[in-house]
Amino acid sequence: MSVPEELRYSEEHEWVAGLDGESGIVTVGITAHAADALGEIVFLELQPAEGDTVEAGESCGEVESTKSVSELYSPVTGEVTAVNAAVIDEPKVINDDPYGEGWIFKVRIADEPGDLLDATAYSKLIEED
Amino acid sequence: MPAEPSAVKTPLYDVHLGLSAQLVDFAGHLMPLRYASETAEHRAVRTAAGLFDLSHMGEIFVTGPGAAAALDYALVGNLSALAVGRARYTMLCAHDGGVLDDLIVYRLADATFLVVANAANRAVVGAALTERAAGFDAAVEDRSDAYALVALQGPDAAGLLAAVTDAPLDGLRYYAIMAGRVGGVDALIARTGYTGEDGFELFVSAEDAVAVWKTFEDKATPTGLAARDSLRLEAGMPLYGHELTAETSPFEANLGRVVKLDKPGDFVGKAALAAQAATPPGRRLVGLVARGRRAPRQGYAVVTADGTPCGVVTSGAPSPTLGRPIAMAYLDGGVADEGLAVDVRGRPEAVDVVALPFYKRS
């Protein structure tokens, strides 16, 4: 299962892109491993809208597949600057392209998040999963 | 999700691995949950044909001069009235009338019956049949390990099967079975299924499983348990452990018709079932269609407009055919159909009560 090197990961299977960027805005999605385990995603509910704040480790929505439902947790703290309306309309995009078109929201982070995993650590986590 | 190391591999395990199936432990068997997209698999069965490994199901043979009488006593159906070459949907009930398993019984010959049990209940069914047949001139033998079961389901199933068998399929009616060669191997060809489509279930010896699968693999879509569940739910078919349990009576599940109280002689559970038949069931099984997109799931409460619990969901999933979540649920006695919702993780989601099935093939 694909675990891109340049991303950081939460233990709840979200990925974070852009931590090294100048803008302080990061992109969040769910990993290929999580999308695959869930099965085909049919419904994504995201509670925060643009301008709302999210807290690292707090539930911010739910991801529903044909067989199951999982909470969506924000891996970072900050202000939501964008929500991917396309995946809310058609959540299966997350299965098809979890690290690209399947991004879920963007956050202007307040601080550097402390406890995210790098690709090696996340790969190890999902092997043990 | 790692499977239990003790889980049994079906004769098609390597085939599933080769197709990159996601395997799960289902009733102690490593079974394909999906090969790729379960929704695509579901649609393939509705519009063309799907191929299923059902080798986890139990095949129990009841044979001998007293086999029919033994089954009449052991099960709620009138199996002695079943013609050779035909099948019947029936149940094994406890003395208190609770459902221990739902079954399909095929009469292969005058004194040979094949009882197909759910994988999770195979041991219970085998033990109960053995115990209940003790006073009859009949032998009960669980031959599940010697058999593989491959299903071919969908509107194209008959055409695909006809191309590779010498069996006269035109003469094989729904709920009938005949022996024939399929793709060069011996099979019992049953026109039964669990999808709401026309289709076949092929019982073959375990060593022929791969051959019969390969006969259809590039013509029908390999379909996993996820789609099997959404297909049967759309077709309004009960699943043991969901709509049917040891605490459920057949009457509550709208299956009172399979309980043959007027068949000759006694049968296990008769007194309790007769009493249940005489009193209206306390609860009833209904179909629900959600107005929103969040799916009711097994165990969620059905609530009235003021939030009072009035029932429980037994199965629920997004329906690929309807494009909306569907569910089956037990409603408590006296609950009206209107104004109901399902408590989906703390939030009421409006549902409409509909007649079952959700889907009927045209």
Question: A11-28 pLDDT, tens per residue?
Answer: 999 999 999 888 899 999
Q: Which residues pair with B112 in a beta bridge?
A: B63, B109
Sequence-distant (6+) residues with CB within 8 A of B86 are B106, B107, B175, B176, B177
Q: How confident is the model at residue B1 (pLDDT cuts 50, 70, 90)?
A: very low
In-domain check, residue B98? no
Q: What is the chain B residue with the closest CA to A34? A: B1
A1 in contact with chain B, both atoms CB, cutoff 8 A: no
Q: What is the arrangement of strands in the sheet containing B112-117, beginning at the earlier edge strand? A: B87-93, B99-109, B112-117, B58-63, B139-142
- Whether B218 and B294 map to the same domain: the answer is no
A88 in contact with chain B, both atoms CB, cutoff 8 A: no
**Interchain CB distance below 8 Å, B294 and A66:** no
Look at residue B39 and tell me whether its pLDDT is greater than 50: yes
- Whether B310 and B164 map to the same domain: the answer is no
Of the two residues B146 and A113, the one the predictor is more confident about is B146
Which residue of A67, A89, A96 is the best one to mutate when testing the B interface, meaning the one whose CB has the most B CBs within 10 A?
A67
pLDDT, tens only, B7-34:
999 999 999 999 999 999 999 999 999 9
Six token digits for residue A43: 């419904």
Domain count, chain B: 2
Is the ipTM, as predicted for this complex, more than 0.85? no
Q: What is the mean pLDDT of residues B222-231?
A: 97
Instruction: Note the pLDDT of residue B247.
Output: 96
A71 in contact with chain B, both atoms CB, cutoff 8 A: no
Distance from CA of A66 to the nearest CA of B (A): 6
Parse chain A into domains and list their residue ranges.
8-109
**Interchain CB distance below 8 Å, A67 and B226:** yes
Q: Which residues of B32-47 are buried (b: 16+ CB within 10 A; e: fewer)?
A: bbbbbbbbebbbbbbe
pLDDT, tens only, A32-90:
999 988 989 999 999 999 999 999 999 999 999 988 899 999 999 999 999 999 999 99
In-domain check, residue B268? no
Instruction: Note the pLDDT of residue B4.
Output: 54
Look at residue A114 and tell me whether its pLDDT is greater than 90: no
CATH architecture of the domain with range A8-109: Beta Barrel (2.40)
Q: Write down the mean pLDDT value for chain B.
A: 96
- Whether B230 and B347 map to the same domain: the answer is no
Distance from CA of A113 to the nearest CA of B (A): 28
Distance from CA of B322 to the nearest CA of A (A): 13
Q: Using CB atoms and an 8 Å cut-off, which of residues 187-216 of chain B contact chain A?
A: none
In-domain check, residue B79? no
Q: Using CB atoms and an 8 Å cut-off, which of residues 2-61 of chain A contact chain B?
A: 36-37, 39-40, 42-43, 45
- Whether B47 and B190 map to the same domain: the answer is yes
Distance CA B80, CA B66 (A): 10
- Share in percent of chain B as helix, strand, coil (round to 5): 25, 35, 40
CATH number for the domain that contains residue B158: 3.30.1360.120
Q: Cβ contacts (< 8 Å) between A96 and chain B: which residues?
A: none
Q: Which of B177, B199, B234 is the last residue of a domain?
A: B234
Q: Cβ contacts (< 8 Å) between B295 and chain A: which residues?
A: 42-43, 64, 69
Look at residue B142 and tell me whether its pLDDT is greater than 60: yes
Q: What is the mean pLDDT of residues B268-296?
A: 95
Instruction: Note the pLDDT of residue B6.
Output: 79
Q: What is the chain A residue with the closest CA to B323? A: A42
pLDDT, tens only, B73-94:
999 999 999 999 999 999 999 9
- Whether B287 and B227 map to the same domain: the answer is no
B22 in contact with chain A, both atoms CB, cutoff 8 A: yes
**Interchain CB distance below 8 Å, B295 and A64:** yes
Distance CA A91, CA A30 (A): 12
Q: What is the mean pLDDT of residues B123-128?
A: 98
Q: What angle do CA B299, A69, B295 make, to 5 degrees?
A: 60
Instruction: Note the pLDDT of residue A129.
Output: 66
Q: What is the mean pLDDT of residues B131-153?
A: 98
Instruction: Note the pLDDT of residue A23.
Output: 87
In-domain check, residue B111? no
Q: Which domain holds residue B293?
A: 282-362
pLDDT, tens only, B156-212:
999 999 999 999 999 999 999 999 999 999 999 999 999 999 999 999 999 999 999
CATH number for the domain that contains residue B309: 2.40.30.110
**Interchain CB distance below 8 Å, A39 and B294:** no
In-domain check, residue B260? no
Q: Of the candidates B248, B314, B313, B240, which has an alpha carbon nearest to the alpha carbon of residue B56?
A: B240
- Whether B46 and B160 map to the same domain: the answer is yes
- Whether B32 and B157 map to the same domain: the answer is yes
